[in-house]
Amino acid sequence: MSTPMSNPSESWDALARAASRGDTPAEVSQMLHLLSFKLDGAPYAIHVASVQEIVRMRVIAPVPRVHSDVRGVISLRGVIVQVIDLRRRLNLREKELSRTSRIIVVQDAGGMLSGLLVDSVTEVIRIAEDTLLPGPGSEAGAVEALCARGDTFVSLINLDRVLEFGSEG
């Protein structure tokens, strides 16, 4: 049984056959996989491809004379990883760490690992790339796009910008 697409004359089977021939219709958008997390009760996300792992809270060793958004460093199986406090980075109010706080370990284009301190990790979401809306010009370019999810918007973080900012000293 085939499921109709938005155009009733097409089916998932026809789409799969076209894709196997390399004839994917132009109207079919690429699907993005995003890791969703919360900061100050609001949903944010980053591309799953950048995520190495998600770790529970652990001792974050402060490092003197680094940017105030860098909370410190952790040791992850012998690798030193800087931890960027996304609340600070996005100018959100400070909050005490909780049982749900997590460090999302990401890898930048150069292979360097960094940790992003978030309030909680919620889910992996799939969205069509063409449904993204341009992000606001605020938050120092940290939000690159918005994604409508029901009656809320998920802010897609520009990871390169956040990591660049976090490594400034």
Give me the residue spans of the domains in the chain: 31-166
- The pTM is what? 0.78
Q: Note the residue count of the chain.
A: 169
pLDDT band at 29 (very low <50, low <70, confident <90, very high): low
Write the pLDDT tens digit of every residue in 54-70. Answer: 999 999 999 999 888 99
pLDDT band at 16 (very low <50, low <70, confident <90, very high): low
- Say yes or no: domain 31-166 is CATH 1.20.1740.10: no
